[in-house]
Amino acid sequence: MSVAVAAFLLDQISKWLVTYPAALRSREVIDLIPFFSLRWAENYGVSLSYLQADSDLARWALVAFTSVIAGGVAIWLLMNCDPINGVGLGLILGGALGNIADRTRLGHVVDFLDLHFGGWRPFAIFNVADCMISIGVIVLLLSSWASREKHSRSNPLPN
């Protein structure tokens, strides 16, 4: 659970930093290096701006939907006994809670990380919570793959 708290705090602190001290909303873009910028974006949907919540009803339905998913992840995390899966689940939960907090407090999620190569953007503008969720999923997938590999080596199929 400490991983979830750390991921949540890292996300919220990063959003506070770009919103207030960096004043990204009014500046719109801060170019850091040729292929990476801070760019203000308000995401009213979910990943890649899908499921746009363009009304109060849609906003709160999206909060409820993502909260149910986060609740499921929290239960899975509490029932989990594997430390590696616990890290993955904690990252996913902390990231999800960070985006839920934004949507509840602001009506949208603050996105600001912009990876680009010229005009080509391999990703939509994203935030630390999105990174935590993605890394958490990768951790779970790699852990599952490693577990299957270990199981298949210890229990070879008969000829």
Say whether 31 is catalytic: no
**For the chain, give me the number of helices (H) and strands (E)?**
5, 3
Point out the catalytic residue in the list 11, 102, 114, 130.
Answer: 130
What pLDDT shows up at residue 151?
64
52: confidence class by pLDDT, cuts 50, 70, 90:
confident
Mean pLDDT taken over the chain = 92
Tell me whether residue 56 is one of the annotated catalytic residues: no
Question: Stretch 65-79: mean pLDDT, rounded?
Answer: 96
User: Given this model, what pLDDT does residue 138 score?
Assistant: 98
Say whether pLDDT at 137 is over 70.
Answer: yes
Which residues, at least 6 apart from 99, have a Cβ–Cβ distance to it below 8 Å? 11, 66, 109, 127, 129, 130
Instruction: Say what the pLDDT of residue 81 is.
Output: 81
Contact 21, 27 (CB under 8 A): no
Query: Is 124 buried (19+), middle (13-18) or exposed (0-12) by CB count in 10 A?
Result: middle
Q: How confident is the model at residue 133 (pLDDT cuts 50, 70, 90)?
A: very high
* pLDDT above 80: residue 149: no
DSSP reduced 3-state for 15: helix
- Mean pLDDT (whole number) for 34-57: 85
Distance of alpha carbon 86 from alpha carbon 59, whole angstroms: 30
List the catalytic residue out of 11, 102, 111, 114: 111
Q: Counting beta carbons within 10 angstroms of the beta carbon of residue 51, is it exposed (0 to 12), middle (13 to 18) or buried (19 or more)? A: middle
- Mean of pLDDT values over 33-52: 86
